[in-house]
Amino acid sequence: MRTRREFLGIALLGGPALALAFRAGGADAGEKTPFRPNAWIRIDPDDIVTLTVGKSEMGQGVRTALAVILADELEADWRNVRVVQAEPSAQFPNLGTGGSYSVRGSFRALRRAGATGREMLVAAAAAAWGVDRAACRAEEGTVIHEGKRFTYGELTAAAAKLPVPADPPLKRDFKLVGKSMKRIDGPDIVTGQARYGLDVKVPGMRYATIVRPPALGGSIKSFEAVDGVDVVRVSAGVAIVADRTWAALKARDRLKVEFDAGPHAGFSSAVYEQLLADAAKDPGYLLRQDGTTTTPARTLEATYHYPFYAHATVEPMNCTADVRADRAELWVPTQAPNAVQKEVARLLGLSPERITVHVTLLGGGFGRRLGWDYALEAAEISKAVKAPVQLLWTRSDDMKHGYFQAASRHEMSGGFDADGKLVAWTHKKIASLHNARGTPTQAELDDPNYYRDSASWGVYDIPYTIPNIETRYVRVPTHVPLGPWRAVFSPSSTFARECFLDELAHAAGADPLEYRLKLLQAPDVLAIDDLKIERPRLRAVLELLRTKSNWGKPLPSGHGRGVACNVYDGVTHVAYAAEVSVVKGQVHVDKVVGVIDCGLIVNPLGVVAQAESGIVWGLSSALKDAITFRDGGVEQSTYLDFDVLRIDETPKIEIHLVPSHGDEPYGIGEPTVPPIVPAVANAIFAATGKRVRRLPIRDL
Amino acid sequence: MKARLIVNGREVSVDADDDTPLLWVLRDELRLTGTKYGCGAGICGACTVLQGGAAVRSCQIPLSDAAGKRFTTIEGLKNHPCQRAWLAQDVAQCGYCQSGMIMEACALLAKTPSPTDADVDAAMRDHVCRCGTYARIRAAIQSAAQLRSAK
């Protein structure tokens, strides 16, 4: 990998490489601020095209998707395209990966950059041949004119001297975009050469682990030294530093330490559930109100319960830090390198540009690595022992001391008029806000609108046409660290919404899929805040699902089929039909058929992979384990008690993509999660007549 | 203790505590980082390597037991049918668990050249993949079986 310094040096020199800086997505897009590039492309005389971009690869295939977009517009030879990880700096001020926004937010900029490079190379070739540039064309890394051909590498020096065209034409037909492209990191992975955070080795490096108070909010009362290792008190507990990982891990068991359980020693899942139940009486904040109050002829009510979950990435949290008096260098699997840089700088009392952050591959992210806690810990330990240190969270640390997906309670009601028409819907979500990466300001807390985008995805944006809709959010303060998890606020809300809609369909004597279609009629567009939900797109997704899933075809006794759908972020439309069998109370999900409209499809192979991934993720939460608390601490410690879906529990998965339409791709990593759990719960009802209103699914 | 073992066909000597799990011998002493730590308790499968032809959890084998034995890690595979099949099926997502998956698949095919899906599920069920690549792993193992028999 080239370092930032080399790279910038070459860019400043101009030739012989052709280097272009541009902005790809991020919060600055569209703002009237000075141009601040956060991505670069460079074409070298050896024909290699390098895309440097600050998106973290955590399995979502972002490095592949972004390279495909660039290579297509640039007319590059795919075999010569490389992707290099950007690191935070003045040149890369706004890196970060989350919200299923990487492809969506980078698409236009990458195309513009690719088109710019292509036009400059074509212009350079035309000048060399002394012909009109309209008589030349670019194709797979070359420029061609009447049988003559230059490779891009032969043109870079000349192209770098040309003015940058203001408005280069975009290609009309894609070659790579829309084609199934295998991931660019595949060969490294299958040979063991891919480098994750824990694979970093730095000269003189030591290995560290932290013994933490088991109760959240607890502290260290006292501890004793352990032979052969360094033992230091740090913010999170007691750090053990050794010359080998094993020596550090072994010393954990020998460490004599006394904890103070702290103010939350009596906390448990039951305590939290009671807090939610008590808070349910509170009216909370009004998120959305459609229609005036109505008095339905018949009302149905239900309460849904959603637990805490861990991310449980297979690579646990870790960071390698080398802190010196006036600077620090970190190697960290992170989704938020700029935040790491800023927070480590604050911790050390240095300015951010003194902190170098190298982003490694991530052995899973799912939102957990938007946090910087583990980077701060590594920096703190390195400073204390005056040596480069690799901090390893054990599996147990990772399960017990991460931040969690918030638990919630959902109070639902639906009302029918005398003719049996659904005329009223209420959904009250009772939960706690994210608090692990900073807390909202008082002004935010007092603003009812804050609770829509910061807590209630899937609640306020219910896509169905019902004359009276009232949605609310009740906030329950908690000390439990909470933060983003795959699909963030949606999975809990969508579970409650899509299951309760199924209850209403059943009460109305209607087929649940047809009922949804009926509730997705005019008006075609639902606009709330910045969201614009196009009901015809969701209808089309459900209609295709009806066909592809053989909806309505009878299943054997003990088997059932369920449906659920969701529009994520107002743009990605996903519907699943799940087929389950229930034998002696044991649920097996046999098959899942999914239909997805994610706008323009960049890499179908990658989109389908993300759908498979989102389904397995959701099934883990439905069928396997949750995080529970007892005596102030997390009860689970490994994949035995926080089990996740295994290969033999994985259903047959069949994904259908609605053909690309429009000119914009939408996100896919998160949107594939929310509808799978309610689809399964509804299938269980179809199979058994029993409603699932609490996760994970137990005791049928 | 000082110990000799054979890793990827080469005899290596290491000097480490006798209870050091093979996982950390590979990663910290031999710098073969393709074998991954996931749980340290033999539960997740990320640390799987081959001992002879059998899949073992390297986090559960102390150096004292590993001494004198022959191991293959992901770095020791050279264009193995499983690696080719993994690429052809575009299995990996984050990739972290895949070394262990591939080593387990190698052991399965060595013992059961034409596995049924049930054989595959039984062999792979003690491996955790949080990205959910299971469906493609099934497909890749079947495709690797065909590559092997075509050889």
Q: What is the pLDDT of residues A312-346, one digit of tens each?
A: 999 999 999 999 999 999 999 999 999 999 999 99
Residue partners of A601: CB distance under 8 A and separation at least 6:
A178, A607, A657, A659, A660, A665
Q: How confident is the model at residue A33 (pLDDT cuts 50, 70, 90)?
A: very low
Question: What is residue A633's DSSP assignment?
Answer: E
Q: How large is the average pLDDT for residues A693-698?
A: 97
Of A427 and A20, which is predicted with more confidence? A427
CA dist., res. A269 & res. A409, Å (int) = 13
C-alpha distance from B21 to closest chain A C-alpha (Å):
8
Rg (CA), chain A: 27
Q: Which has the minimum average pLDDT: A17-26, A185-194, A338-347, A348-357?
A: A17-26
Q: What is the mean pLDDT of residues A401-428?
A: 97
* Whole-number Å distance between alpha carbons of A599 and A661: 6
B132 in Cβ contact with A609 (< 8 Å): no
Q: What is the CA radius of gyration of chain B?
A: 15
Task: Give yes or no for a contact between A337 and A98, defined as CB atoms under 8 angstroms apart.
Answer: no
CA distance A644 to A629: 18
Q: Tell me, what's the pLDDT at B150?
A: 85
More confident residue, A17 or A641: A641
Partner residue facing B83 (CB), from A58, A190, A311: A190
B83 in reach of chain A (CB within 8 A): yes
Among chain B residues, the shortest Cα distance to A615 is held by B132
Q: What are phi and psi of A256, to 5 degrees?
A: -90, 115
Q: Which residues of chain B have pLDDT under 50?
A: none
- Joined tokens for residue B9: 């066909």
- Which chain A residues are within 8 Å of B93, Cβ to Cβ? 59-61, 609, 613
| Distance separating alpha carbons of residues A585 and A601, to the nearest angstrom | 40
Determine the Cα–Cα distance for residues A342 and A351; give it in Å rounded to an integer.
Answer: 8
pLDDT of A513 > 80? The answer is yes
Reported ipTM: 0.98
Contact A363/B95, CB-based, under 8 Å?
yes
Binned at pLDDT 50, 70 and 90, residue A295 comes out as confident
pLDDT of residue A661: 73
How far, in Å, CA of A495 to CA of A693, rounded?
A: 9
User: Is B94 in contact with A58 (Cβ distance < 8 A)?
Assistant: yes
- Tell me which chain A residues have a C-beta less than 8 angstroms from the C-beta of B94: 57-59, 313-315, 361-365
* Confidence at residue A101, expressed as pLDDT on a 0 to 100 scale: 86
Q: b/e string for A456-480 if b means 16 or more Cβ within 10 A?
A: bbbbbbbbbbbebbbbbbbbbebeb
**Nearest alpha carbon to residue A40 among A83, A102, A94, A89:** A83
Chain A residues closer than 8 Å to B83 by CB: 190-191
Q: Cis peptide leading into A352, omega within 30 of 0?
A: no
Residue of A nearest to B122 (CA): A648
Mean pLDDT of A169-177: 94
CB neighbourhood size of A262 (10 A) = 15
pLDDT value at residue A530: 87
Confidence of residue A147 (pLDDT cuts 50, 70, 90): very high
Q: What are phi and psi of A304, to 5 degrees?
A: -115, 145
Mean pLDDT, residues A520-543 taken together: 94
Q: At B140, give phi and psi (nearest 5°).
A: -65, -40
Peptide bond into B113 cis (omega under 30): no
| Phi, psi values for residue B15, rounded to 5° | -125, 105
Instruction: Tell me the C-alpha distance between A631 and B6, whole Å.
Output: 48
Picking from A41, A35, A26, A31, the residue whose alpha carbon sits closest to that of residue A97 is: A26
Q: What is the mean pLDDT of residues A379-388?
A: 98
Mean pLDDT check: name the lowest of A57-61, A406-410, A619-623.
A57-61
Distance CA A121, CA A45 (A): 12
| Residues of B with Cβ-Cβ distance to A202 under 8 angstroms | none
Partner residue opposite A246 with nearest CB, options B20, B35, B41 = B20
A316 Cβ contact partners less than 8 Å away, ≥ 6 residues apart: A392, A393, A394, A395, A397, A398, B37, B38
Average pLDDT over residues A162-171: 88
A42 pLDDT exceeds 80?
A: yes
pLDDT class for A12, splitting at 50, 70, 90?
Answer: very low
Whether cis (ω within 30° of 0) applies to the bond prior to A16 is yes
Is B18 at the interface with chain A, CB within 8 A? no
User: 3-state class of A443 per DSSP?
Assistant: helix
Instruction: Give the start-end residues of each E strand in A125-170.
Output: 137-139, 142-145, 148-151
Q: Which of A111-115, A175-179, A426-430 has the lowest mean pLDDT?
A: A111-115
Please report, to the nearest 10 degrees, the dihedral formed by the alpha carbons of residues A62, A66, A69, A73 taken in order: -170
pLDDT of A662 above 60? yes
Measured CA to CA, the distance from residue A61 to residue B90 in angstroms comes to 11
- Measured from the Cβ of residue B117, the count of other Cβ atoms closer than 10 Å reads 13
> Which stretch of DSSP H or E encloses residue A301?
strand A298-306
pLDDT score for A11: 34
Is A183's pLDDT higher than 80?
Answer: yes
Edge-to-edge strands of the sheet including B70-72?
B10-15, B2-7, B70-72, B48-51, B54-57
Q: What one-character DSSP code corresponds to residue B88? A: H
Q: What is the DSSP letter of B23?
A: H
Cβ B35 vs Cβ B27: under 8 Å: yes
Q: Hey, CA dihedral for A126, A127, A130, A131, is it positive or negative?
A: positive
Q: For residues A225 and A231, is the Cβ–Cβ distance under 8 A?
A: yes
Give the best residue of B15, B28, B131 to mutate against chain A (max A CB count within 10 A).
B131
User: DSSP states of A320-374 as a string?
Assistant: EEEE-SS-EEEEE--S-HHHHHHHHHHHHT--GGGEEEEE-B-S--TTGGG--HH
d(CA B139, CA A550) in angstroms, rounded, equals 24
pLDDT single digits (tens) A447-460: 999 999 999 999 99
Of residues A568 and A20, more confidence is placed in A568
Which of chain B's residues have a Cβ under 8 Å away from the Cβ of A644? 128, 130
pLDDT computed for residue A24 by the predictor: 65
The pLDDT assigned to A265 comes to 97
